[in-house]
Amino acid sequence: MTSPRPAAVIILAAGEGTRMRSAIPKVLHAICGRTLLGHAIAAARATQPAHLVVVVRHQRDLVAAHVEQLDPAIRIADQDAVKGTGRAAECGLEVLPPDLAGTILVTYGDVPLLTGETLEGLLARHTADGSAVTVLTGEAPDPTGYGRIVRDDSGAVTAIVEHKDCTPQELGITEINSGIYAFEAAVLRDCLARVGTDNAQNEKYLTDVLALARAGGGLVSAYQIDDLSQTEGVNDRVQLATLGAILNRRQNEMWMRAGVTIVDPATTWIDVDVTLGTDVTIEPGTQLLGATSVGAGAIIGPEVTIRDSEIGVDAQVRRAEVVLAVVGAGASVGPYSYLRPGTELGPNSKIGGFVETKNARIGAGARVPHLTYCGDATIGEGANIGAGTIFANYDGVTKSHTTIGKYSFVGSDTVIVAPVTVADGAYVAAGSALVRDVAPGEIAVARGRQRNVRGWVARARAGT
């Protein structure tokens, strides 16, 4: 059976979100590496709607620019000065074909945990029942603030009443309106045209469509879900963190079921766009962010942050910060190292402790084991860079490149003043300050020659 597709999804995102106390629009705050609006759009897209609309007003330009960046095919609808979810939906309709038929889903831009499956379930129920309106509902232990689902004696939904408009008896209802609905397009259009603003908040309520649809002879149904977190909105930063943790747990559980070992899910943060191979092990205190991918069998952590990077199969990264870097298969990094943008580690190479790299290509099996700054460099396969080597890439004006040949050896405590090329198999003596190229077969010794002065202690430090 192919699941039905909606004619459109309208995402309401025009509200102010004042409780965030933020210069950034609420729906542009992010959890698990995706904005709240990005999550709402991802869920909407999963239903494959013919049209996708986001309704904006507050900080309109910032929100619209973000939508445009996510998907230029999404239509932006501007809500005018008339307030309320009903007016927002009506403004959404205005950018759709006026005779659009079929089902329109309405969701919120600040409800990030709603899944595409739930929207598909709502749509499937709506279609199967032949309803005019189907509202997504849940049983809330504390329904304060929510619209209540009013049913008649037969259990049929008759209306939604806003908390502020409830009678004392209606306040006792615990079935709440999630704010997510499936509407027949014609019903939504006709009823919204008749909704007024005569209520406690003087707003045009989308919820009023239900009673009107029913009065017009349409079937109004509820689709109840158990997982209330899916319908929870973010109003302040406390809820942002709470929903972020729930989403993170959901992601972690998905990866564990897919064959990833996560030693401590509570301290492991995996953004939604990250991909992990089988038998990856993640130790405590690890953040995998952005478009990061980790190959099968790799061991990441403890205490690692990796952003927008590619980690090869069977690699190991411990106590490190990795940004826009590639770590080859079987390579090992850390503890306490920092791989900056443009770092590319070849297979089985090694970056040890207290090493910083930037724009550096490090060949297969090459080793940078201790206390090094390696910026703007190419290091050949099998080379060894001694402890405390500094690639001096910056002369105060320009940055220059260093090339270290294959299987060459740089002694400890060397400063390489770029640009310098060390040939394949060549050597650099420990403690050198290298300013010229080193040819094949050579060793460069660029330091003061050692002089031992016999009898000096007795002469100059008698009695010590």
- Residues designated as active site: 370
Distance between CA atoms of residues 138 and 118, nearest Å? 12
Does residue 83 bind ligand UD1 (CB under 6 A)?
Answer: yes
DSSP conformational letter for 95: T
Q: Which of 7, 8, 9, 13 binds ligand UD1 (CB under 6 A)?
A: 13
Q: Supply the minimum distance, in Å, between the C-beta of residue 63 and ligand UD1.
A: 10
160 binds, among ligand UD1, Ca ion, none (CB under 5 to 8 A by kind): ligand UD1
User: Phi and psi at residue 94, in whole multiples of 5°?
Assistant: -65, -25
Q: Supply the minimum distance, in Å, between the C-beta of residue 210 and Ca ion.
A: 18
Comparing CA positions, the residue from 411, 450, 451 lying closest to residue 434 is: 411
Cβ atoms 344, 360 nearer than 8 A: yes
Distance between CA atoms of residues 428 and 449, nearest Å? 15
CB nearer to ligand UD1: give 150 or 160. Answer: 160
CB nearer to ligand UD1: give 205 or 427. Answer: 205
Sign of CA dihedral 172, 177, 182, 187: positive
Contacts of 302 (CB under 8 A, 6+ apart): 283, 284, 285, 286, 318, 319
Q: Supply the minimum distance, in Å, between the C-beta of residue 79 and ligand UD1.
A: 5
Q: Which of 37, 132, 150, 160 binds ligand UD1 (CB under 6 A)?
A: 160
Contacts (CB under 6 A) with ligand UD1, residues 200-219: 205-207
Point out the residue whose Cβ comes nearest to Ca ion: 233
Does residue 143 bind Ca ion (CB under 5 A)?
Answer: no
Does residue 233 bind Ca ion (CB under 5 A)?
Answer: yes
Does residue 55 bind ligand UD1 (CB under 6 A)?
Answer: yes
Which of the stretches 77-85, 322-330, 347-355, 366-374 binds ligand UD1 when contact is defined by CB under 6 A?
A: 77-85
Distance between CA atoms of residues 410 and 279, nearest Å? 36
Q: Supply the minimum distance, in Å, between the C-beta of residue 83 and ligand UD1.
A: 4
Q: Supply the minimum distance, in Å, between the C-beta of residue 233 and Ca ion.
A: 4
Which of the stretches 181-189, 232-240, 261-269, 283-291 binds Ca ion when contact is defined by CB under 5 A?
A: 232-240
Q: What angle do CA 306, 241, 278 make, to 5 degrees?
A: 40
Does residue 230 bind ligand UD1 (CB under 6 A)?
Answer: no
Distance between CA atoms of residues 306 and 290, nearest Å? 8
Q: Which of 177, 252, 309, 384 binds ligand UD1 (CB under 6 A)?
A: 177
Size, binding site for Ca ion by CB under 5 A: 1
* Surface-to-core class of residue 198, CB atoms within 10 Å of its CB (0-12 exposed, 13-18 middle, 19+ buried): exposed
389 binds, among Ca ion, ligand UD1, none (CB under 5 to 8 A by kind): none
SS3 182: strand
Contacts of 201 (CB under 8 A, 6+ apart): 83, 84, 162, 164
DSSP string, 183-206: EEHHHHHHHHHH----STT----T
Q: Supply the minimum distance, in Å, between the C-beta of residue 145 and ligand UD1.
A: 6
Which of the stretches 173-181, 357-365, 399-407, 436-444 binds ligand UD1 when contact is defined by CB under 6 A?
A: 173-181
Q: Which residue is associated with the tokens 């920092």?
A: 338
Does residue 146 bind ligand UD1 (CB under 6 A)?
Answer: yes
Distance between CA atoms of residues 255 and 257, nearest Å? 5
Instruction: Please report, as ranges, the residues that interact with Ca ion according to CB under 5 A.
Output: 233
Instruction: Please report, as ranges, the residues that interact with ligand UD1 according to CB under 6 A.
Output: 12-15, 55, 79, 83-85, 87-88, 108-110, 146-147, 160, 162, 176-179, 205-207, 233
